[in-house]
């Protein structure tokens, strides 16, 4: 890749808007929420049930254990078909690393705004830094959140000016966590490939160098939480995404069978959700799923999402090994063009993948 080429993980731009964390601190129960943050969908699409449900659990230790692998791999296949979201336990990411990264993330978001703005996005097309994403017009509805995003892999694409030097262990923990997740991703791709009837080596080539970006999300509390949305309903334009809850405030909701369902996470489990790339590669055997983040009235929610994408040169289309003699359900498009289209429009359900359906 040439020095000037924008990697497809982040080929877009975003308008600047006021910092939501600062806005939230100025509000009380009698305050009016600025109109651009008020979403009718927050009331139009309520959750289907008030109690949170636990997502299916996949045990990575069992998946790689010859004694249990066949059964756990079959469970993974069913879960990918029926849910597209699952919790991963016994994943091998050291607990001390997770706890250190959680502490770093909380400390970063608790810093004064001027300190965080040292790492602000500079609209260079990469979307890296502190700010927001997918803001393309002055009329667009706004998410009730701030985020901090960096490209972590391939390592050659890292721009260290966006990597905070404080807390002092933040950079090292981000680097270690990024590496640990590539190990997790490699293992999952191996079993996903096998479950689809594809040689694992094919997926190794598709996802070589493990393209990865980390997005740290801060969802401030809002006294009128039923009027705002932390992040609009969308599916991820990734192979899969891996979410870590930084604090114990829940807010993730998924759309299953046409209804919104609130889900909860086990402590230190990794939540994996399949993205649009996997839906196309699998010819729709596995589907990406819409999800959104809702807001708590009293407490902030903080999360970290790692996006795992394919090699930048990929021509996105269903794999011949999966299609066989069956019906082709998706057309083809270069991955770079797909990602440019994704980042240069507002988040809106599964609109990014609709144009590929035949």
pLDDT of 4 above 60: no
Q: Which tokens belong to 295?
A: 């807001």
Question: 61-97 burial by CB neighbour count: b if 16+ within 10 A, else e?
Answer: ebbbeeeeeeebbebbbebbeebbbbbbbebebeeee
Q: What is the mean pLDDT of residues 264-275?
A: 94
Amino acid 345: pLDDT: 63
Q: What is the mean pLDDT of residues 162-179?
A: 98
Amino acid 5: pLDDT: 35
Q: Convert the pLDDT of each residue in 9-53 to its tens digit.
A: 444 455 667 899 999 999 888 889 999 899 886 655 666 655 578
Q: Convert the pLDDT of each residue in 128-165 to its tens digit.
A: 999 887 566 666 788 999 999 999 999 999 999 999 99
* Residue recorded with tokens 């909701």: 253
Cβ atoms < 10 Å from Cβ of 125: 14
Q: What is the mean pLDDT of residues 68-84?
A: 98
Mean pLDDT over each residue of the chain, to the nearest integer? 90
Amino acid 30: pLDDT: 84
- Residue 303's pLDDT band, with cuts at 50, 70 and 90, is very high
Question: 245-277 burial by CB neighbour count: b if 16+ within 10 A, else e?
Answer: bbeebbbbbbbbeeebbbbbbeeebbbbbbbbb
Strand, coil or helix: what is 222? coil
- Residue 3's pLDDT band, with cuts at 50, 70 and 90, is very low
Rounded Cα distance between 268 and 57, Å, is: 13
Give me the helix-helix angle, 170-195 and 69-82, nearest 10°.
90
Write phi, then psi, for 13 (nearest 5 degrees): -145, 170
């Amino acid at each position: 890749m040439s020095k000037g080429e924008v990697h497809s993980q982040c080929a877009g731009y975003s308008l600047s808007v006021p910092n939501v964390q600062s806005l939230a601190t100025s509000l009380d129960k009698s305050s009016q929420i600025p109109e651009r943050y008020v979403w009718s969908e927050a009331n139009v699409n309520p959750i289907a049930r008030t109690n949170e449900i636990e997502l299916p659990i996949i045990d990575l230790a069992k998946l790689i254990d010859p004694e249990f692998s066949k059964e756990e791999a079959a469970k993974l296949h069913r879960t990918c078909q029926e849910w597209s979201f699952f919790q991963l336990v016994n994943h091998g990411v050291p607990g001390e690393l997770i706890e250190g990264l959680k502490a770093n993330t909380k400390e970063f978001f608790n810093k004064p705004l001027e300190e965080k703005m040292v790492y602000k996005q500079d609209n260079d097309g990469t979307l890296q830094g502190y700010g927001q994403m997918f803001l393309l017009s002055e009329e667009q509805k706004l998410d009730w959140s701030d985020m901090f995003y960096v490209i972590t892999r391939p390592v050659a694409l890292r721009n260290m000016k966006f990597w905070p030097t404080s807390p002092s262990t933040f950079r090292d923990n981000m680097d270690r966590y990024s590496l640990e997740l590539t190990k997790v991703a490699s293992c999952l791709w191996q079993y996903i490939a096998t479950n689809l009837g594809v040689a694992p080596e094919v997926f190794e080539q598709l996802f070589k160098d493990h393209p990865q970006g980390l997005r740290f999300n801060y969802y401030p509390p809002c006294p009128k939480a039923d009027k705002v949305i932390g992040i609009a309903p969308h599916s991820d334009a990734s192979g899969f995404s891996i979410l870590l809850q930084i604090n114990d405030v829940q807010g993730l909701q998924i759309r299953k069978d046409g209804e919104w369902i609130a889900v909860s996470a086990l402590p230190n489990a990794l939540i994996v959700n399949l993205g649009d790339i996997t839906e196309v590669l699998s010819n729709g055997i596995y589907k990406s799923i819409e999800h959104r983040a809702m807001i708590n009235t009293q407490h902030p929610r903080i999360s970290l999402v790692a996006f795992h994408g394919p090699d930048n040169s990929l021509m996105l289309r269903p794999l011949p090994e999966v299609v066989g003699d069956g019906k082709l359900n998706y057309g083809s498009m270069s991955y770079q063009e797909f990602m440019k289209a994704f980042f240069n429009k507002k988040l809106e359900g599964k609109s990014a993948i609709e144009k590929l359906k035949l």
